[in-house]
Amino acid sequence: MARIIGGIGTSHIPAIGLAMARQQYEEPYWKPFFDAYQPVRAWLKAARPTVAVVVYNDHGLNFFLDKMPTFAVGAATEYRNADEGWGLPTLRPFPGNAAMSWHLIERLAEADFDLTTCQEMSVDHGFVVPMQLLWPDAPEWPVRAIPIHVNTVQHPLPSPARCLKFGEVLGRAIESWPANERVVVFGTGGLSHQLDGRRAGFINKPFDLYCLEKIVHEPELLAKYTIRDLIEFAGTQGPELIQWLVMRGALGAEVRKLESNYHVPISNTGSGLLLLEKAA
């Protein structure tokens, strides 16, 4: 049976991808940020996951404002990124696991989640930056990926409570897949940021630290927020926290926190990193 070995919450800011392309690891602005990822990379190396379920939000590459699914699951054998205008390089394709995707889709649909299924899916910085950040030097991607998009772009967005529930069902779906996979679940985005409007540049460090702490053992406290609350406390793009709630839901009730880091700002954003191990 497939087993979830852990979950990772991480930022997906495009500037990180650019800094990696330019090898700016040692520059004073970037060094503390990249250094915080070393223990998480080491954990991945030792834990040897075979599948990464990457929960993120497309920002306009694969879906645009004319058609924006609430939950979309990739069911392709391969995923590619493309130029989104940030100057990010086009990376080698990411292998998928279509059979496992369809299993997750069936279990989620049985639990009344209405999904968009994508047999073709371009993946944007929300997916690509975390993959590159966590496996920077791998000559080949060491995992097969299953991208899952949760809308945080075009209102109305799914509530934090619904996303935690989605994660719980997703976790059970993963662990009912008969193949012997070791699965890591990513939730990407956040934490507080506002890229537009009068509060552009808004970051709320105390709220971000509260979320980083509470998501570990009391995610239901965060699930009580409305999307409007998240926008008020964490900026217009702050609702990306719902990706982290899906990841947290998938891990089940008992988790151990192995790593947690907060770095502010990276670009316009409070950047969070969290590594949780699923308790047996």
Return residues touching Fe ion (CB under 5 A): 189
Q: If contact means CB under 5 to 8 A according to the sort of partner, which of Fe ion, ligand DHB, none does residue 193 touch?
A: ligand DHB
CB of 14 to ligand DHB, least distance (A): 5
User: What is the distance between the alpha carbons of residues 73 and 162, in angstroms, rounded to a whole number?
Assistant: 16
- Min dist. Cβ of residue 12 to Fe ion (A): 6
From CA 243, how far away is CA 7, in angstroms rounded? Answer: 12
Q: Which of 76, 81, 122 is nearest to 96 (CA)?
A: 76
The reply to whether 14 sits near ligand DHB by the rule CB under 6 A is yes
Residue 149 interacts with which of Fe ion, ligand DHB, none, CB < 5 to 8 Å by class: none
Q: Which of 164, 245, 269, 270 binds ligand DHB (CB under 6 A)?
A: 269
* Spatial separation of the C-alpha atoms in residues 250 and 107, rounded to whole Å: 13
Q: Looking at 59, 103, 125, 149, which residue is catalytic? A: 125
13 binds ligand DHB per the rule CB under 6 A: yes
Q: How many CB atoms lie within 10 A of CB 231?
A: 18
CA distances from 222 to 23, 24, 75, 148, 168 (A): 36, 35, 30, 21, 15
The enclosing H or E element of 96 equals: none
Closest CB to ligand DHB among 203 and 215? 203
In the complex, least distance from residue 46 CB atom to ligand DHB, rounded to whole angstroms: 29
Interacting residues of 206 by C-beta distance below 8 A, sequence separation 6+? none
Largest CA-CA distance found in the chain, in angstroms, rounded: 51
Residue 189 interacts with ligand DHB (CB under 6 A): yes or no: yes
269 touches which of Fe ion, ligand DHB, none (CB within 5 to 8 A by kind)? ligand DHB
Q: In the complex with ligand DHB, which residue's Cβ is closer, 215 or 255?
A: 215
**Closest by alpha carbon to 53, among 10, 92, 96, 108?**
96
Q: Which does 268 bind (CB under 5 to 8 A by kind): Fe ion, ligand DHB, none?
A: ligand DHB
Work out whether 236 is an interface residue with ligand DHB (CB under 6 A).
no
DSSP 88: P
Q: Is 59 one of the annotated active-site residues of the chain?
A: no
DSSP structure class, residue 157: P
Which whole-number Å values give the CA distances from 70 to 73, 154, 159, 197, 207, in the listed order? 10, 9, 10, 24, 25
Quickly tell me which residue has 């205008």 as its tokens: 85
The CA angle 43-177-119, to the nearest 5 degrees, is 95
Which range, of 12-20, 33-41, 71-79, 225-233, touches ligand DHB by CB under 6 A?
12-20
Options 15, 100, 163, 169; binder of ligand DHB; rule CB under 6 A:
15
8 A C-beta contact, residue 5 and residue 277: yes
In the three-class reduction of DSSP (H, G, I as helix; E, B as strand; rest coil), residue 148 is classed as: strand
* Cβ at position 240, least distance to ligand DHB in Å: 6
x/- mask, ligand DHB, residues 190-229, rule CB under 6 A, reads ---x-x----------------------------------
Among the listed residues 59, 103, 149, 193, the single catalytic one is 193
Catalytic, 125? Answer yes
Q: Which does 14 bind (CB under 5 to 8 A by kind): Fe ion, ligand DHB, none?
A: ligand DHB
- Binding interface with ligand DHB (CB under 6 A): 12-15, 59, 189, 193, 195, 237, 240, 267-269
Residues annotated catalytic, as ranges: 125, 193
